[in-house]
Amino acid sequence: MYAGNIPAVPAVLHHCDTFKAMKRVLPLLLALVSAGAAHAAKTLDITFVDVEGGQATLIVTPSGQSLLVDTGWRGFNGRDANRIFEAAKKAHVKKLDYVLITHYHRDHVGGAPNLTDRLPVDTWIDHGPPREDSKVVQVDFADYNHISKTHHTVVKPGDTIPLKGVEVTVVSSDGAVLGQPLPGAGKTNPFCSTTEKRPADKTENARSIGFVLSYGAFRFIDLGDLTWDKELDLMCPDNKLGTVDVYLVSHHGWKESGSPALVHALHPRVAIMDNGARKGGSPETWQIVRDSPGLEDLWQLHYAVDGGTAHNSPDPFIANVDEVCQGKPIVLTAMDDGSFTVTNTRNNYSKSYPAK
């Protein structure tokens, strides 16, 4: 309810005077009520931080809780941790309630130690120990394990992350995928029959934690770097996820992920690609996303050098057009009726997508 002062109407007026007075006051009353309702409206805010082809996605719920998905790269003088900190400051986040590490590749977990120098973290979420024995993975996991071991939790498909006002359901983790469809999903996926099958991926990518987030009628999906073979396990022969409004393009747009069986069946209205100038953004994957039925726009964190003009979105939809850049993020604001707005912070271009 609006808490301001509403002009008083004299108690005793001739009926004509009363009618005239009400005609003057009613628009003001309606404006004040509308302003109060707008002030009370709560939003889900998602910042896609540019970590140069890695992932760092900051989610702030309507209740003010925070979930950071991945921490970007290590090194670079703490560049990625600094960018996450700046995004958190703009979102009025002073601590991170949860940090979810999708998997233990350096562009996702490497920045964790730098991050804790800048922001306190309540709880870390991961899929358990790494299954890839490469030296880089083992080094990064050891550093991550040192800072997270006293306050972390392991999740499996079907688990939820306890954030107020939203539903976050884990759909993949440690190589396993959701067994039963999400509510409203489970229909036969027609895109399976036309999607090629690929060999099983043996790296940490296939172990990625993926989740679907719902805020009222709005739905967002982030599958980390989940690979093509695991996508088919999740989506074929039946689509266990249903459709979404916004799809964070898997694996930064590399061709090892982003199968038509996944992307086209999700039927996103908007896709956001967290690619780098020379990392991700494969032309083949870009085209699969662009051809997805019902897709309105594809936003990119970077202009993909290898994509050329044919496989990059128009300038207003690209947050960083130069290879050496200032690391501008993309920001999404969603309402519980399913409407949302996406903003390119480089040029302040915004586009609103009404509720269906």
Q: List the chain domain ranges.
A: 12-39, 42-353
Burial class (CB in 10 A: 0-12, 13-18, 19+), 183: exposed
pLDDT computed for residue 149 by the predictor? 87
Where residue 182 falls among pLDDT bands split at 50, 70, 90?
A: very high
Q: What percent of the chain has pLDDT over 90?
A: 87
Residue 23 has pLDDT above 70, yes or no: no
Question: pLDDT tens for residues 237-269?
Answer: 999 999 999 999 999 999 999 999 999 999 999
Model pTM score: 0.89
CATH number for the domain formed by residue range(s) 42-353: 3.60.15.10
Q: For residue range 35-74, what is the model confidence (pLDDT) as tens digits? A: 444 445 699 999 999 999 999 999 999 999 999 999 999 9
CB atoms within 10 A of CB 222: 28
Q: Quick one: how far is CA 352 from the chain centroid?
A: 16
User: pLDDT-derived band of residue 11, with 50, 70 and 90 as boundaries?
Assistant: very low
